[in-house]
Amino acid sequence: MGKYIAKRLLASLAVMAIVSFMAFAALELIPGNAALIAAGTEGSASSVASIASGLGLDRGFMERVLIYYKGLLSFDFGVSSYFGESVSTLIRQRIGVTFSLAFLSVLLAFFVSVTLGSAAALGRGRFLDAFSRSVVQVFSSIPSFWLSLLFLILFSSVLHWVNVGDYVPPSVSLKGYLSSIIIPVAVLAIGETGPLLRLVRASMIRARNEDWYRIGKVRGISRIRLVMAYALRYALPGPLTLAGSELAKLLGGTAIVESVFALPGLGRLFLTAVEMRDIPLVEGIVIFVSFLVVLMNLATDLILFISNPSMRKAGGIRL
Amino acid sequence: MKKHRISFMIGIVLTVSAAVLSAVSIAFTPYDPESMDIYNRFQGPSSEHLLGTDHFGRDILSRIMSGSLVALSSALLSVTIGAVLGIALGLVAALSPKRISGILQRIIDALMAFPTILIALVLVTIAGKGILPSALAVALSIVPVFSRLVYTMILETMEKLYIRAAVSYGAGRFRIAAFHLFPPMLSRLVVQFTASIGNAILLESSLSFLGLGIQPPSTSLGMMLSEARGYVLTYPYQAIPAGIALLVIVLGFNLLGDGLSEVLERGRRGRHG
Amino acid sequence: MAELLSFRSLCAEDERHTILAGLSLHVDAGETVALVGESGCGKTMSMSALLGILPDDVEVTGGSIFFDGEDVLAYDGKKRRDRLYRRVGFVPQNTSDSLYPLTTVSKVMTDAYVHNHPGIGRKAAVERAAALLSSLGIEDAGRVLSLYPFQLSGGMKQRVNIAAALMDDIKLLVADEPTSALDIHIRRQIEALYASLAGRDRLSMFIISHDLGFVRSVADRVYVMYAGRIIEEGMCDEIFSAPVHPYTQSLIELESMNARDSNQDLPELVSSFSIPDRKSLSCAFLSRCSCRRDSCSCPVEYSRISETHFVRCVL
């Protein structure tokens, strides 16, 4: 078991190294390097040069990679050229909003998917199943930005429930906070429900076709108990993994919703960084998010590993 | 059974009509999609402008038609590029020695675990705005899907008894690949290709929505919605037609992909008893 | 003797085929009855119909199944649980997939029991499970209870399944192919185990098997099934020493040849298999029968040979 965890950790570290290197190298390729962009169109050659040396651009590539990695160890992503602040501070200020959005929407989508998916797979009604299939199809075909606009029209200008652009931090007012993020959370949750619901339904149908499900019935276990205590536990690892990786993806994928609903999160920060060609900031966010993604996937894997007796006893799946 | 066939039919009807409508837009649109008519802006649907006009008085129907053409052709381009690269990467990963295949797989996994929009944005940062960078970004998001599919399919098939039998009686690599590996893969690749088009259209329109894709005066459905965003409070209607068009096209491809996989799956089961 | 279980002209079909074509048989209290026949003849379906676990596309189209004087097919879910499942134990064919993989044997065996007997705590249930395992010849029952199903050997899984079926005070034990997929050594042990269960006074057994050697050593009475109905029934001795139906004869011949030497030529039976029209009243076995004659095409009656021996053949 320890061996499995160690192996898995090493693999994650390797992925983190690969991704951060790729991001670093890719952004080096940008035509017109960071110093030119930071100096702006007015910048003279000497100011470009001084900015370049400030950013360490006058050193060799490998040397810069090493310096960058050294900074990473102490959560130092450098300084944003547009904001003039340290990248890690900017990230720290914004991550809370994005995390609430991502976490709450995945939670909501997971809850809806498990309820609807198991009812559809195990209920006798054909209607529920057809309904859940349609939900999967339509939800995974709606563009999230359009849905955002529709919700904006409906809840803001027709029903006057929410005001856009008034983000309230939870520390100020919990009610205000919830009402400022509820609509974006719903938009994101609808996007996540498609793939999750599809997987829950498929896993539950597979569980129902297992021998132990039929036998459990004959042993006198009630249908409800078979579904809630047996089939769900058997079917959930897949959807849980998916929810974990979707959560991780959302941490870097809320840009559109944040931009439409004017929420001060990581996604919007990233859009600004791209728009302003703020290389250190783009780099920092990409690497930060990639680390989150890797760690999140590692955590889901480990949870699954610990919850599955045959893997736990046998010392892990083949990597 | 029957229900699946109905949704498959709906998928075919939606995609074919989207394709026809956008093909027609090459030769004919009711109005020039780019010509402005300030006196007739913010018009609702009428006999002159079937779907009304936008904030510059441009005909929304014409813009949807030519926007669909952009969406479809750029999605087709992206998915083709992505599929070719992905299949190649998957093949290499599956057939190369264990150590290299391990590294390649890590890279595929990393790409897969990554938010596609983030990858796209990085690419746009590097290559600049425009239709080609955004098409490339979309293609890049398609790559891991195909390489993982090819990789697992090859490993699965290699384990099958009939392949082992073929190897044992001395069939060459090429023969095995051509006669045993490829045919069963082909149908699943076709399904994946169709399903990916829907996703590609969604991603491309998201990039356009953020103003990072195709640039004016050309149009795309995402850009139309981005423009409509400025008038959500005063003229919410403008956000409706293009969104529905987008939804219908993506839904069409998703239904088509699902239906195809159902049909091919059933065909496979039928052949082998 | 009192009749415990009876199938009365049970018919079932799926979208394309007739599966059961008027199946009738009965099991008396205390008796061990075997149902034999080739795979595909409907043995497993008859058992699934009794237990209410027919596949989705199979439908009962006629007849009834009575257990302890009540029509089982008329039960709703709760009644089936209270009246049927708590008095019938079931040992499935594939014993390795039949145990829930994510919990220990102890939980697998006691979960239903604890929930159906509100007065009994988990601890008492586990003690009962341990006692049952010991009575089935498992020495370290405590350790087995703490294992997960995937850690058990094939023979152990069989015993755990039998023990789980015996958790309630059942009247009838239904076993589906208990000896298939076991190696010869474990087969002997399981055979002995079933023989000792058959000796229990208040327990009836209904065993589905194509393993005639096993059937001969445990069964009191035997039904031979072909194409969805019974073609011959009789006491174990009658069937094995004086089979009447050509199909039964060839089954038994096959078995004895298998026991002696498996390299000899097999009789006609294995060479051809066709699915006959199960609805027709003439002999379903006709096309494969080596002793057919002109009168075979007439409708066949179920005729009596002795007090207990019946056959569906014009011979």
- Given this model, what pLDDT does residue C270 score? 42
Q: How many CB atoms lie within 10 A of CB A20?
A: 21
**Chain-centre distance of CA C166, in angstroms?**
16
User: How many residue contacts between A and C have a Cβ separation below 8 Å?
Assistant: 66
CA angle C31, C32, C36 (to 5 degrees): 140
Closest CA to A221 of C310, C107, B209: C107
Residues shown for chain B: 273
Q: Tell me the CA distances in angstroms from A218 to A127, B3, B98, C240, one per residue in order.
A: 27, 32, 47, 33
Whether the Cβ atoms of residue C102 and residue A235 lie closer than 8 Å to each other: no
Is the pLDDT reported for residue B216 higher than 70? yes
The answer, yes or no, to whether residue C197 has pLDDT greater than 60, is yes
CA B22/CA B44 separation, integer angstroms: 23
Q: Enumerate the residues of chain A whose CB falls inside 8 A of the CB of residue B209.
A: 143, 145, 256
**What is residue B273's predicted lDDT score, i.e. its pLDDT?**
29
**Cβ–Cβ < 8 Å for B146, B168:** no
Compare all CA atoms of chain A with the CA of B202 and give the residue at the minimum distance: A143
Beginning with the edge strand found earlier in the chain, give each strand of the sheet holding C59-67 in spatial order: C18-28, C3-13, C59-67, C70-71
A141·B126 Cβ contact <8 A: no
Q: Cβ of A26 and B229 within 8 Å?
A: no
Who wins on pLDDT, B172 or C173? C173
A223 contacts C77? CB cut-off 8 A: yes
Q: Is A205 on the interface with C (CB under 8 A)?
A: no
Whether residue B209 and residue A138 make contact (CB cut-off 8 A), yes or no, is: no
Q: Give me the architecture of the B3-26+58-272 domain, per CATH.
A: Orthogonal Bundle (1.10)
Residue C221 has pLDDT above 90, yes or no: yes
pTM score over 0.80: yes
**Residue reference for tokens 């029903």:** A159
pLDDT band per the 50, 70, 90 thresholds, residue A57: low
Interchain contact, A297 vs B113, CB within 8 Å: yes
* Residues A60-83 pLDDT 10s: 777 777 777 777 777 777 888 888
In chain A, which residues have their Cβ closer than 8 Å to the Cβ of C175?
none
- Angstroms from A2 CA to nearest CA on chain C: 20
Arithmetic mean of pLDDT, A6-15: 82
Q: What is the pLDDT of residue A269?
A: 92
Contact B262, B11 (CB under 8 A): no
- DSSP for C249-305, written as a single string: HHHHHHHHHHHH-TTSPPPGGGG------TT-SS-TTGGG-TT--GGGGSPPP-EES
The percent of residues in chain A predicted with pLDDT above 90, rounded, is: 11
Q: Which residues pair with C233 in a beta bridge?
A: C223, C310
Domain ranges within chain B, ordered by starting residue? 3-26+58-272
Measure the CA–CA gap between B31 and B63, rounded to whole angstroms. 9
Residue B124 has pLDDT above 90, yes or no: no
Specify the pairing of strand C18-28 against strand C3-13.
Answer: antiparallel
Give the mean pLDDT of A223-251: 87
What one-letter code names the amino acid at A167? Y
| Cβ neighbour number for residue C41 with a 10 Å cutoff | 22
Backbone φ and ψ for A7, nearest 5 degrees, come out as -60, -45
Write out the E strands in chain C: 3-13, 18-28, 32-36, 59-67, 70-71, 88-91, 172-176, 204-209, 221-226, 229-235, 303-304, 310-311
Helix (H, G, I), strand (E, B) or coil at C308: coil
- What is the rounded average pLDDT of the residues C185-205? 85
H runs (alpha helix) in chain B = 2-27, 60-95, 98-113, 116-127, 131-159, 161-168, 173-176, 182-209, 221-228, 240-271
**What band does A166 get if pLDDT is binned at 50, 70 and 90?**
confident
**Residue A274, helix vs strand vs coil:** helix
| CA-based nearest residue to C222, from C313, C310, C315 | C310
> How far is residue C116's CA from residue A173's CA, in Å, rounded to a whole number?
49
d(CA B180, CA A34): 51
Inter-chain contact A26–B122, Cβ cutoff 8 Å?
yes
Nearest-angstrom CA–CA distance, B184 and A267: 41
pLDDT tens readout for residues C135-190: 888 888 889 999 988 888 888 888 899 999 999 888 999 999 888 777 778 888 88
Q: Which member of A141, A259, A270 has the closest CB to residue B250? A: A141
What's the average model confidence in pLDDT over B167-186?
71
pLDDT classification of B270: cutoffs 50, 70, 90: very low
- Mean pLDDT (chain B, rounded): 80
Q: Distance (Å) from the C-alpha of residue A128 to the closest C-alpha of chain C? A: 17
Q: Do A27 and B122 touch (CB under 8 A)?
A: yes
Interface of C to A at Cβ within 8 Å reads 51-53, 77, 81, 85-86, 88, 90, 92, 94, 97-104, 111-113, 115-116, 148, 150-151, 164-165, 167-168
Residue B85 in this model has a pLDDT that exceeds 90:
yes
CB contact under 8 A, A310 and C150: yes
Q: Which residue has the tokens 């000792």?
A: C196
Distance from CA of A205 to the nearest CA of C (A): 12
Percent of chain A with pLDDT over 70: 84
Using CB atoms, pick whichever of B239, B246, B255 lies closest to residue A137: B255
Looking at residue C268, its pLDDT comes to 47
* Mutation to test the C interface, candidates A122, A208, A218, A312, most C Cβ within 10 Å: A218
- Residue C267 structure tokens: 């009789």
Q: Is the pLDDT of residue C26 over 80?
A: yes
Q: Are B117 and A157 a contacting pair at CB < 8 A?
A: no
Give C-chain residues touching A305 at CB under 8 angstroms: none
Question: Are C233 and C25 within 8 A, CB to CB?
Answer: yes
Tell which residue, B119, B110, B200, B113, has the closest CA to residue A246: B113
Looking at residue A108, what is its pLDDT?
96
Q: Which residues of C touch A215 (CB under 8 A)?
A: 90, 92, 98
| pLDDT tens digits, A186-196 | 999 999 998 89
State the distance between the two ends of chain B, measured CA to CA, in whole angstroms.
18
Of residues B50 and B86, the one with the higher pLDDT is B86
Name residues whose C-beta falls within 8 Å of residue A83's C-beta, 6 or more positions apart in sequence: A90, A278, A281
- Residues from chain A that touch B121, judged by Cβ atoms under 8 A, are 255, 270-271, 274, 282
pLDDT band, very low/low/confident/very high, at B156 (cuts 50, 70, 90)? confident
Work out the average pLDDT over A280-301.
85
CA distance B191 to B267: 14
Query: Which DSSP helix (H) or strand (E) runs through C106?
Result: helix C105-116
Contacts of A308 in chain C (CB under 8 A): 102
For residue A202, what pLDDT is reported? 87
In this structure, chain A runs to a length of 319
pLDDT value at residue C208: 92
Structure tokens at B120: 């796209």
Are A281 and A37 contacting, i.e. CB atoms less than 8 angstroms apart? Answer: no
Write the ipTM: 0.83
Peptide bond into C118 cis (omega under 30): no
Helix, strand, coil % over all residues of chain A, rounded to 5 = 75, 0, 25
What tokens does A129 get? 């199943």
Q: Is C8 helix (H, G, I), strand (E, B) or coil?
A: strand
Report the candidate in B224, B196, B230, B197 with the shortest Cα–Cα distance to residue B208. B224
* Weakest mean pLDDT among B64-78, B141-155, C268-282, C288-302: C268-282
Q: For chain C, list the domains and their CATH numbers.
A: 3-99+152-312 (3.40.50.300), 100-151 (no CATH)
More confident residue, B31 or C67: C67
Is C284:C224 a contact under the CB 8 Å cutoff?
no
